[in-house]
Structure 1
Amino acid sequence: MHRIDDEQRRIRLGRRHLLAPTSRVASAVAVADAVVALHATDAATVHLSVCARMAAPAVGAVEKTLYDDVSLVRLLSMRNTLFAVSTDVAPAVDASCARPVAAKERRKLVAHLREEVNGLDENWLAETERQTLAELSARGHATGSELSAAVPALRTKITIFPGSKQEAVQGVATRVIRVLAADGRIRRDRPRGSWTSSQFRWTTAEPWPASDPSEARADLARRWLLAYGPATEADLKWWTGWGIRETRAALSSVGAEEVALDNGAVGWVSPGDLASEPAPEPWAALLPGLDPSGMGWTDRGFHLPAEHRAALFDRAGNIGPTVWWNGTIVGGWAQRADGELRWRLLSDLGRDASHLIEAEASRLSAWVGAARITPRFRTPLERELAA
């Protein structure tokens, strides 16, 4: 069996994830396609991930693709998580991952309504959705609070997280809006405030045309292997949230080839993607929490020293802001309240590496400007550096 060692995997990551300076690109869409999908749970992550890979980072260019051209769209999809993908990739993500998530979200909400309030069922939800869409269409865009004020049904109270420490009573608006967004009938518009804000306005949208789920899974697997291969069956299953049967069928459908990995596991690559690649120039990167290069595999041993994990991940497995050197995670970074960018190296590196990391930190500070970044999922090292 052909072998692809860890060093070659790191070389591929630097070039294919557009992290080596000579691999950087001009557009946000090109960045999204290179990594297949950008984590969008944290509003700032999309901008930070994109600008780290742009030759000329600019917040305005990212906002244009999200809100003007709408050439990047957010979908509740893989692992029931919010991602931003290009309109070329969106149909495959929608059919292979988002549709099952949307159906599950709707079933959960209907079951919750029946348990909570007598008489609330699918018909009540359908009418509430109709009123919400009509109001949103008339306004053009609105926040969830504005929709709740205008549509009385959205103020119906339900209990969330019943029986847990987080139990609370709130209006049903958040859940209804989530289902409408999962169905693709509304989308996030510009936030209130800066690009780091999560207080989004909403606007109407058209769902993606239906397509064959198995073909969509094959398309997504092909794109993912080109960006993340070699990777294991378990990596693809985890990243997509598919079952093992769907994962194996997708790999078979695209004709993925087996390779041996340094950890003894069997990896997969796209057909013919076996050749060794020359190392790019030495590179450093400061990537945000939930960046795809840190969240692309369930087994990150080839680029993450095991002793660094506790400092850089939260308890739920979310990665925080990281410092990279030639394809390996070597530390973490944070922004203090006064705007100062601080980082700490967890690996011993030479002077050349330190100089390039410092230059990359300066590049990040320059385009971030007056914005303040606090990750949604905070990690031990990030908290310590930000204090």
Structure 2
Amino acid sequence: MRSMTRSMGDAARRARAAARHRLAPAARTDDVAEIARSLVALHATDPATVFLSVAARSRTATHEAVEKALYDDRTLLRMLAMRRTMFVVPVDLVPALQASCATPLAAKQRRTYSRIIERAGVVDDVDAWFGEVLEAAHRALLARGEATGAQLSADEPRLRTQVDPAPGKSYSRPTSITTWVLVTLGCEGRVVRGRPNGSWISSQYVWSPVETWLPGGIPEMPADDARAELVTRWLRSFGPAPVSDLKWWTGWTAGEVKKTLASLDVVEVGLDGGGTGVMLAADADADAPAGGRDADPWAALLPALDPTPMGWQERGWFLGGHAPMLFDRSGNIGPTVWWDGRVVGGWAQRPDGEVVTRLLEDVGADARAAIDAEAARIAAFLGDVRVTPRFRTPLERELSS
């Protein structure tokens, strides 16, 4: 890693993110896959986040356009990756994510589930038994072409095996291993989550063999190359940023992050507050805005868990002191209102469908008008659909009541 005398202030970082994350109006597009690619991947723990993240960055895209990219054109795929988090990713990134994140996660999930099953005393040789159930479930899915978990458990009775994951705990309830098996197969890159059972905000999916998205399956990629590819994309979208942000975002060990950065041509950049960030050397002078900001300020309403605020662990340079109202106790961000690169408030949808906002600082009449226009645009995107974030935050609860 090369040191660099150059520095980049918070205003310049915000302006760079506005362009690269397609938040500034001039950078918006109706190409759904390109929006995902601009952010590396779209957070998908809450299904509505995917659609609302696209809405904030598009001009006229509808939820049907997002569904088309996911399920008809199949330019996007839903998978567990960084930090065991669900993402919707461009299919060209899948091999890198599989090798760098999903495959190690699959081994970890096998160990975790096998340990729980062993503790429950279901069978003697748990590793062999769980492996057999994985293979049987996969064969059943290949035979059907696509199926729900319930349909597969009808074909393979062992999927209905009941296990108490936390015996003795008041919150624990016996559960079948169907989801555990399908999650493990998904992490191994053998099955994918297809269309939801219900509307676009549903989190119950039909499962399909991975070949329905990627004929021939997921191409193999050396783990070192895969990590380099993923870090390159993250730096292009989120750099410059501290190495600690990269480590948090990937969920990798410090050694893995250090080794990957050493394989890339990156430079250190001074950040406001005395910190140091890293960025791609070839990217250091690209689209650096004169005066540290774009000419035209912009407004945006981003959903809970949007990939922009979830792209960094240290968020003070765009969040200010608003975290207590906008995050839950587990560190999940709720719906946020942005003005010219900074979080200035939050928003929610009321039961009657109205999208309401609250500003947490004075931003002026012009900003208020632009924010109101964005609220109307998001309300039109939602239409008759009512969205409640999976992780509720103080301001969202207050506004939605």
Looking at structure 1, the residues matched to 147 and 125 of structure 2 have their Cα atoms a distance apart, in angstroms, of 25
Residues 1:140 and 2:154 aligned together: no
Asked if the contact 1:11/1:280 (under 8 Å) is kept, the reply is no
Give the gaps of 5 or more residues in structure 1. none
Match runs of 1:262-273 below 5 Å:
262-273=272-283
Deviations 1:114-169 (A, max 9, x none): 22113352222232223322332333322222322332111111012344442111
Residues 1:257 and 2:262 aligned together: no
Q: How many residue pairs get matched?
A: 386
**What corresponds to 1:277 in structure 2?**
289
Supply the AA of the counterpart residue of 1:192: N
Looking at structure 1, the residues matched to 142 and 97 of structure 2 have their Cα atoms a distance apart, in angstroms, of 26
Supply the AA of the counterpart residue of 2:104: P
Deviations 1:285-316 (A, max 9, x none): 0001110111010100110012x101100111
Looking at structure 2, the residues matched to 280 and 146 of structure 1 have their Cα atoms a distance apart, in angstroms, of 56
**What corresponds to 2:254 in structure 1?**
244
Aligned pair partner of 1:219 in 202, 217, 229: 229
Deviations 1:43-95 (A, max 9, x none): 11111111211121211111111112221111211011111110111111111
Aligned pair partner of 1:51 in 32, 52, 55: 55
Looking at structure 1, the residues matched to 330 and 398 of structure 2 have their Cα atoms a distance apart, in angstroms, of 18
Match runs of 1:13-162 below 5 Å:
13-116=17-120, 117-119=122-124, 121-162=126-167
Distance 1:61 1:349, change over 3 A: same
Deviations 1:189-221 (A, max 9, x none): 111111011111111114522211111111111
Supply the AA of the counterpart residue of 2:289: E
Asked if the contact 2:42/2:306 (under 8 Å) is kept, the reply is yes
Asked if the contact 2:102/2:189 (under 8 Å) is kept, the reply is no
When normalised by structure 2's length, the TM-score is 0.93
Asked if the contact 2:98/2:189 (under 8 Å) is kept, the reply is no
Supply the AA of the counterpart residue of 1:186: V
Deviations 1:336-355 (A, max 9, x none): 11211111111111000000
SS at structure 2 position matched to 1:347:
coil
Asked if the contact 2:210/2:218 (under 8 Å) is kept, the reply is no
After superposing on structure 2, the runs of 4+ consecutive aligned residues of structure 1 that deviate more than 6 Å are none
Give the gaps of 5 or more residues in structure 2. 212-216
Looking at structure 2, the residues matched to 336 and 192 of structure 1 have their Cα atoms a distance apart, in angstroms, of 24
User: Which has the higher mean CA deviation after the structures are superposed, 229-238 or 64-73?
Assistant: 64-73
**What corresponds to 2:214 in structure 1?**
none
When normalised by structure 1's length, the TM-score is 0.96
Looking at structure 1, the residues matched to 131 and 360 of structure 2 have their Cα atoms a distance apart, in angstroms, of 53
> What's the CA shift for 1:272?
3.4
Aligned pair partner of 1:362 in 370, 376, 379: 376
**What corresponds to 1:299 in structure 2?**
314
Distance 1:152 1:325, change over 3 A: same
> What's the CA shift for 1:179?
0.7
**What corresponds to 1:174 in structure 2?**
179
Residues 1:232 and 2:242 aligned together: yes
SS at structure 1 position matched to 2:319:
coil
Looking at structure 1, the residues matched to 263 and 139 of structure 2 have their Cα atoms a distance apart, in angstroms, of 42
Residues 1:310 and 2:320 aligned together: no
SS at structure 2 position matched to 1:18:
coil
